[in-house]
């Protein structure tokens, strides 16, 4: 089971996006779990649960460099969610992008 974790300021709007992404994954019988968390728990969640992809909400894109420096060497793909897809709550497109990033990371490993 792959774990795609989203992080944002408070986890509220990202929770709605994560729920939509989970519906898409379930509809296509993909072995993926999607969850959302506030960015303050980023280190704790990554250290304890090691997701397969880290997606940052547009409102915390400033954390990208720090997150890449801290976790990029572990092979976990890290990305900022496209603000247009985030605003439209386009869970399918965000999930497709995350899956592509995971495949690319696996191929590079």
Q: Which residues belong to the active site?
A: 8
Dmax of the chain from CA atoms? 35
User: What φ, ψ does residue 97 adopt, rounded to 5°?
Assistant: -65, -40
Token readout for 35 is: 């969850």
Beta bridge partner(s), residue 7: 37, 56
Dihedral pair phi/psi, residue 52, rounded to 5°:
-90, -15
Distance CA 94, CA 108 (A): 21
Rg, Å, the chain Cα set: 13
């Amino acid at each position: 089971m792959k774990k795609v974790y989203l992080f944002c300021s408070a986890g509220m709007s990202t929770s709605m996006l994560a729920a939509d992404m989970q519906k898409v994954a379930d509809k296509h019988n993909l072995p993926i779990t999607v969850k959302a968390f506030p960015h303050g728990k980023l280190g704790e969640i990554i250290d304890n649960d090691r997701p397969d992809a880290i997606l940052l909400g547009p409102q915390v894109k400033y954390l990208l460099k720090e997150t890449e420096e801290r976790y990029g060497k572990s092979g976990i793909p890290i990305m900022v969610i496209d603000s247009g897809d985030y605003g439209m709550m386009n869970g399918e497109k965000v999930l497709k992008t995350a899956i592509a990033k995971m495949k690319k990371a696996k191929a590079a490993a």
